[in-house]
Amino acid sequence: MAQASLLLRQKAKEYNIDIDESTALWAVRVCKRMLEGYLSLLKLSHEKVIPGIDRMEEELLAIKNFFEDLRGSSDGDFLMKEGYIRSIIEIVNVARKAYIKISVILAQSKAKKNAEDIQKQEDKAAGKEVIARYLEDISQYLFEYQDIIEQVLTCFGSKV
């Protein structure tokens, strides 16, 4: 039986999802809602994503871990058979890609912040170029991350 993390339980309360039903079912619903939220935010504004990127990384880790636990379990088999999800293996693989991508984005965003701090202290034009490069990289990574999230959402069935 797959175990849902405390973070997923908190999100279930936030989304008003009943946790009295099967853990696997409510957790799958929570994961899908979280991913849909990321996608909405990414489509709205990359600038709004960056300040919460560390939280997004933490949440994505919980999603990835849940589906890794679900893989090969009777709950996972049930969810696939009943049409709640199409492929646990694909969700796990794509969630891993998303987690790696978000970790890179987080590292880039921290490096950008450090460059901004250095620029403030030294007020050098070179710092502006470095910051611009980080922003360009982060933006590109966020577009790639958006594509990955869209890909993982296709793995959920219509019943979720």
List the structure tokens of 137.
Answer: 């990289």
**Residue 72 carries which DSSP code?**
T
- Token duo for residue 34: 């979280």
What's the whole-model pTM score? 0.87
What range does the domain containing 11 cover?
6-153
- Please give the pLDDT value at position 1: 55
Q: Is the pLDDT of residue 125 over 80?
A: no
What does the alpha-carbon distance between residue 111 and residue 30 come to, in Å, rounded to a whole number? 32
DSSP for 22-61, please give it: -HHHHHHHHHHHHHHHHHHHHHH-HHHHGGGHHHHHHHHH
* Cα–Cα–Cα angle for 103, 157, 151, rounded to 5 degrees: 35
Number of domains in the chain: 1
Could you read off the pLDDT of 127-156 as tens digits, one per residue? Answer: 677 788 888 899 999 999 999 999 999 999
How far is 12 from 29, CA to CA, in rounded Å?
8
Q: In whole angstroms, give the CA distance from residue 63 to residue 7.
A: 9
- 85 has which bridge partners? 156
Q: Pull the structure tokens for residue 23.
A: 């853990």
Asked whether residue 159 is assigned to any structural domain, the reply reads no
User: Is there a domain that residue 109 lies in?
Assistant: yes
Statement: residue 12 has pLDDT above 70: yes
Q: What is the pLDDT of residue 47?
A: 81
Residue 90 lies in a domain: yes
Condensed to tens digits (0 to 9), the pLDDT of residues 34-72 reads 999 999 999 988 888 888 889 999 999 999 999 999 998
Crossing angle for the helix pair 23-44 and 125-153, nearest 10 degrees?
Answer: 140
Please indicate, yes or no, if residue 115 is contained in any of the structural domains.
Answer: yes
Residue 160 lies in a domain: no
Residue 63 falls inside a structural domain: yes
